[in-house]
Amino acid sequence: DTAVSQTPKYLVTQMGNDKSIKCEQNLGHDTMYWYKQDSKKFLKIMFSYNNKELIINETVPNRFSPKSPDKAHLNLHINSLELGDSAVYFCASSQLGMGTYNEQFFGPGTRLTVL
Amino acid sequence: DAKTTQPNSMESNEEEPVHLPCNHSTISGTDYIHWYRQLPSQGPEYVIHGLTSNVNNRMASLAIAEDRKSSTLILHRATLRDAAVYYCIPLYAAGGTSYGKLTFGQGTILTVHP
């Protein structure tokens, strides 16, 4: 059983298009995250949801809109894709709260290429 | 966020121990030190974490300096599968206002030679 899964694994699209990446976790965690890893391999957090509520929103363009329909899912929709959006996007999940140590489990990543 | 400094790269031979250092001189008293690693073409994975005492688990050991300004991740017998980028990340483990946000630095690229 895959703990954190993402679809699609690869996404190639043209500039200006709108696309979505889906993430699901079957660990029963209450918190999910989106991270972006650029071409220089820097990993940076974008968003986090705790119990379907947005708790972290880094400086990310408005073209990126996360949606959490339930605790097990966190999707990322990107409007008007730009060349600079090309990156690998990782979803992660963890259980926050006192008494936990917030081990984060990452998905396999979605490689987005914008042409 | 506490700033961390790690060597850009390190090399080891298979079956030998590896000591990966990290400086985190501005760490807060409530931050745990977490280590993650990223194998090629995979998402990061948790390795170990600690607060003040040295810690061991099945993957590695973590030695934390008495003043907590530095730590060392120890792989007791490196294997080819340990070749990865290793990140040390100070984090308030219980969530708090950081809400579990992992702030990745540049990490250390570990190369393991057969």
**DSSP structure string for B21-85:** EEE-TT--TTPEEEEEEE-TTS-EEEEEEESSS-EE-SS-EEEE-TTSSEEEEEESS--GGG-EE
Predicted local distance difference test score (pLDDT) of residue A14: 97
Task: Mark yes or no for CB contact B102/A104 under 8 Å.
Answer: yes
Residue keyed to tokens 């396999």:
A108
Q: How far apart are CA B32 and CA A99, in angstroms?
A: 13
**pLDDT at position A82 over 60:** yes
With contacts defined as CB-CB under 8 Å, which chain B residues touch A109? 41-43
Task: Mark yes or no for CB contact A101/B93 under 8 Å.
Answer: yes
Extract the tokens encoding B49: 């974490």
Predicted local distance difference test score (pLDDT) of residue B95: 54
For chain B, say whether A3 makes contact (Cβ under 8 Å): no
Locate the chain A residue with the closest alpha carbon to B106: A42
Instruction: Say what percent of chain A tops pLDDT 70.
Output: 95
Whether A7 and A108 have beta carbons less than 8 Å apart is answered as no
How sure is the predictor about A25, in pLDDT bands with cuts at 50, 70 and 90?
A: very high
**pLDDT at position B1 over 80:** no
Nearest to A107 among B36, B43, B99 (CB): B43
Element (DSSP H or E) covering residue A78: strand A73-78
Nearest to A96 among B42, B43, B100 (CB): B100
Predicted local distance difference test score (pLDDT) of residue B26: 86
Whether B46 and B57 have beta carbons less than 8 Å apart is answered as no
Tell me chain A's radius of gyration from C-alpha atoms. 14
Report, as an integer, the average pLDDT of B83-109. Answer: 83
**pLDDT at position A47 over 70:** yes
For chain A, say whether B68 makes contact (Cβ under 8 Å): no
Predicted local distance difference test score (pLDDT) of residue B83: 98
Q: How far apart are CA A95 and CA A104, in angstroms?
A: 8
Residues A32-42 have pLDDT tens digits of: 999 999 988 89
**pLDDT at position B93 over 60:** no
Q: Residue A112, CB half-sphere, CA atoms under 13 Å: how many?
A: 28
Instruction: Say what percent of chain B tops pLDDT 90.
Output: 75
Residues B13-51 have pLDDT tens digits of: 999 999 999 999 888 888 889 999 999 999 999 999 998
Q: How many CB pairs under 8 A join A and B?
A: 71
Predicted local distance difference test score (pLDDT) of residue B53: 87
For chain A, say whether B103 makes contact (Cβ under 8 Å): yes
